[in-house]
């Protein structure tokens, strides 16, 4: 399809959801006109149309919080689109939050959803590397060094294998959670992002 297939509203706008291509989280919602989408396609970076300023704008042009657009997706009615983005500097909201959807109706803080837990743990590990906490197991593990982290990954791998062998579903889930956590610590320690692992899985799927 092309831009002419998009069902813009009477003001020439279409709602745009910016979705993180690596975590799946919704980063923000804005609007675009034809020119904004054309600019996005030309540059590879998210452009929107500001209804309040009545002007085109490039996300992060002044703040550096650029959104690299990896793909544009259109819904079944052609009247809403998604920018699949890589969020530079990791902040999308003007409040300083990772995304604009951090408020919940019935409680003070929104809950962690299952798809958010791996990115959350990865950020936690990075923070513990930069800012060790005295009573933190993660900080303790990092301080003990790579050999200790490798040892824990090995132990949790063996315990996971035993759980599978016993076909104990509850224990499998428990041990795999431990294993994945320690793998994330190991990745963070050697400076590898889980995103790199995801990219490798995508590469294998394409080949």
Find the CATH number of the domain harbouring 133: 1.10.287.1080
What pTM was computed for the model?
0.85
- CA 197 to chain CA mean position, Å: 14
136 assigned to some structural domain? yes
Query: Within a 10 A sphere around the Cβ of 59, how many other Cβ atoms?
Result: 24
In this structure, the answer to whether residues 53 and 124 fall within a common structural domain is no
What pLDDT does residue 79 have?
97
Joined tokens for residue 192: 């590898």
155 assigned to some structural domain? yes
Q: What are phi and psi of 143, to 5 degrees?
A: -65, -35
In this structure, the answer to whether residues 135 and 67 fall within a common structural domain is no
- The average pLDDT across 191-200 equals 94
What pLDDT does residue 107 have?
83
161 assigned to some structural domain? yes
* Domains contained in the chain, number: 2
Domain boundary among 58, 90, 122: 90
Query: How confident is the model over 33-42, as pLDDT tens digits?
Result: 999 999 999 9
Instruction: Answer whether 22's CB lies under 8 Å from 88's CB.
Output: no
What pLDDT does residue 207 have?
63
Query: How confident is the model over 114-126, as pLDDT tens digits?
Result: 999 999 999 999 9
In this structure, the answer to whether residues 174 and 122 fall within a common structural domain is yes
29 assigned to some structural domain? yes
What pLDDT does residue 109 have?
79
Q: Domain range for residue 73?
A: 3-90
97 assigned to some structural domain? no
Of the chain, the percentage scoring pLDDT greater than 90 comes to 92
107 assigned to some structural domain? no
């Amino acid at each position: 399809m092309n831009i002419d297939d998009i069902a813009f509203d009477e003001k020439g706008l279409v709602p745009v959801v910016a979705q993180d291509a690596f975590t799946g989280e919704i980063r923000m919602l804005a609007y675009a006109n034809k020119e904004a989408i054309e600019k996005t396609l030309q540059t590879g970076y998210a452009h929107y149309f500001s209804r309040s300023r009545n002007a085109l704008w490039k996300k992060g042009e002044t703040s550096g919080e650029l959104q690299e657009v990896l793909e544009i997706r259109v819904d079944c009615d052609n009247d809403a689109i998604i920018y699949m983005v890589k969020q530079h500097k990791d902040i999308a909201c003007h409040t300083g939050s990772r995304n604009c959807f951090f408020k919940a109706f019935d409680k003070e803080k929104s809950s962690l959803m299952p798809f958010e837990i791996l990115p959350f743990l990865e950020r936690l590990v990075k923070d513990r590397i930069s800012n060790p906490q005295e009573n933190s197991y993660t900080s303790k593990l990092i301080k003990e060094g790579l050999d200790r982290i490798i040892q824990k990954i090995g132990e949790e791998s063996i315990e996971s294998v035993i759980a599978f062998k016993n076909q104990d579903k509850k224990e499998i889930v428990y041990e795999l959670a431990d294993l994945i956590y320690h793998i994330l610590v190991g990745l963070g320690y050697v400076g590898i992002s889980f995103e790199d692992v995801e990219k490798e899985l995508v590469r294998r799927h394409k080949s």
